[in-house]
Amino acid sequence: MSVRALDPWKLVGLTRWEYGEICRRLGREPNPTELAMFGVMWSEHCSYKHSRVALQALPTSGPHILRGPGENAGVIDIGDGWAVAFKMESHNHPSAVDPFNGAATGVGGIVRDILAMGARPIALLDSLRFGALSDPQAGRMLRGVVSGISTYGNNIGVPTVGGEVETGPWYAKNPLVNVACLGLLRADAVATSKVRGPGNPVMVVGARTGRDGIHGASFASTELAEGEDERSSVQIGDPFAGKLLIEATLEALATGSIVAIQDLGAAGLTCAASEMAARGGLGMVLDLDRVPRREDGLTPVDVLLSESQERMLLVVRAGEEERIREIFQRWGLEAEVIGEVTEERVLRVFAKGATVAELPPEALANGPRYLPEAREPGDLQARWTLNLSELPEVSPADALLALLADPDIASKEAIYEQYDHMVQLRTVVLPGADSAVLRLPECPSKALALAVDGKGRYGALDPYRAAALTVAEAAANLACCGAQPLGMTDCLNFASPEDPEVFWAFTQSIEGLVDACQALEVPVVGGNVSFYNESSAGPIPPTVVVAMVGILEGSQRIPSPGFVQEGDRILLISSGCSPTLGGSCYLKAVYGQVRGRPPAVDLPMHRKILRFLIESVRRGLVRSSHDCSDGGLAVALAECCILGKLGAHVSVEIPKEKRKEEILFGEGGSQILISTPPAVVDDLLSYAVEHGVPVQVLGVVGGDRLVIESRTSEGAVRPLLDLPVRDLDRVWRNGFRRWME
């Protein structure tokens, strides 16, 4: 049977129209090798064909941005001649098939993206989603993913300094593994993937090439099929080789001999060569026989599509290739010239002396663009329906304990303790706080804060609000330690974009990101879109994850997330908007429901609150600060008590039109808890008035119990809950750990 009879486009995951477009661009039919190259490059994973148009709306420029989207990673100027490279990627499908290797190579891939900008990787963050942990399969995935992240990160010497985890049955067979990496570099030494100089040699460096990960990009661009074994599409990482590659590459870059660099990730050599040539407006000639291999029998397609890990593609100044080869060989790595840059804008590939592919790089790198149909779900209003009076009565104490035991809120120490978060000796604020903080010995006047957030529960109900709130919460987490946000990267995790309701949610999410980023002046430096996250268990909810970096002055005191001192006053900063139970963790943990409309965020007021908090921290007025997010005010108070090993006595006002559950456990309203010495309360309140920010005194730190009372507008006081801090601590610390054992 001929290839034509089998509909060749189907063999590589393309449509009939796309095959016709390839023929139109080439003026001929592609040969089988060329078609395989188009198959991976025009996959969703590589081409962003369903998302690129919508992504153009994101704000990507700002006074600190040195490189925005379009390179291997974004780069942000932090002053004093230094910059940071920052990016987030997903490895969802591979982690569903092989949790350990899928997660491990997710770490390896994002680290190489940062390395390709000329930066030394100094920190990792992860954002994870799993099915309900009572499901044994979800528990196995959780343990495998965490082990993969810790094994790779620990062995390459890059600390995992923070992260977040959310669970729910909608992630049962399609976990989300989103990993961000931050790197440090000199601001005048940013590397590029844009090739220059016809005649310059092209070198592949690092590990040898094998068959692992072939068609990995195509695999990541389709739904997960029940019962199919896709393990051959999952890359296998070698963290020891990854560490060697970091050191060898940084040493090679320091020579000034490297003109352009890109990691060999999705679609392997095909992607790196075509994108580098297209960005430079030049061509390349490649000889596949020169590519170092770790096994015999590899076909040209195997070599071109392999996603074997720990490899980079370099363009080196002519005459300096031996210098680069010696560096990599000294580190025990391969380094071979496999081609050269050409003036002619053609990617010409040889194997065994014959031409196996001859393609314009732009045709590969610039795939089709779609703007799919978008349709609001017909049951959206029904999802927002929430009648609190129909819910059975649960005491505030019982509700708080249920929330503290919920995997979304409970301590993630069982994860963090597997990560070496102190390697490189930069970590000042450890995992578990609102944000991680890194010191910079290279730039002692600065410190960096990092935070990652996502709102999958909200995304299922209102994707616009979910995205806006995710940005707002990440910025609030940075502000809690006194950091000014500089930029963010994102992972946008969705089901099939060919479903009009899914694409509507995607466009709504983009609008939410745009509005929040513009209002808070936080540009997007890069990111990732992961579509087709669905399985036999159904589609995942729209899940926008944001990682944000902020800057601190090196001399300022960083507030604790927990209460610090007996007698300190507890204050609540808020927007004045009432929190709501729509989409809340309270409904999920106590009643097993995800419904109601999530809270809106008053972005102009949120911006005022962040500025006020950052300046208050810098003035030394804040002893502790903690963002109220999942579980609302009561959970935030409990966490402050647990982390500080101190009790608290507070009083909250319950308006006549509100239920106590909304005030205690409602989310939203830009609420931030702070504590401060009694002597500076008046100064802080006056400063809040100057900023136009509502602040109220709730109570006092002290004792060994959390006591919350209600007060009415008439002054009547009633007890709401009274629990020992040791009981809160026990429930909170064990709620997640039991699923890791």
- Does residue 421 have an active-site annotation? no
Q: What are the phi and psi torsion angles at 53 (to 5°)?
A: -65, -45
Residue 308, C-beta contacts closer than 8 angstroms, at least 6 positions apart: 207, 208, 209, 210, 211, 212, 213, 235, 236, 264, 268, 294
Q: What are the phi and psi torsion angles at 623 (to 5°)?
A: -90, -40
Please give the Cα distance from 476 to 485 (Å, whole number).
Answer: 9
Please give the Cα distance from 52 to 69 (Å, whole number).
Answer: 11
| Residues across the chain | 741
Please give the Cα distance from 319 to 323 (Å, whole number).
Answer: 9
Could you count the other beta carbons within 10 Å of the beta carbon of residue 61? 10
Residue 56, C-beta contacts closer than 8 angstroms, at least 6 positions apart: none
Paired tokens of 322: 């031996």
- Does residue 626 have an active-site annotation? no
How buried is residue 332: exposed, middle or buried, by Cβ count under 10 Å (0-12/13-18/19+)? exposed
Given the residues 45, 93, 606, 626, the one annotated as active site: 45
Three-state secondary structure call for residue 67: strand
Q: What are the phi and psi torsion angles at 176 (to 5°)?
A: -115, 125
Amino acid residing at 214: I
Cα maximum dimension of the chain: 90
Paired tokens of 368: 């089709």
Given the residues 91, 421, 606, 626, the one annotated as active site: 91
Q: What are the phi and psi torsion angles at 71 (to 5°)?
A: -105, -175
Please give the Cα distance from 244 to 260 (Å, whole number).
Answer: 20
Q: Specify whether the backbone of 632 is left (phi greater than 0), alpha (psi in -120 to 50) or beta.
A: left
Active site residues: 45, 91
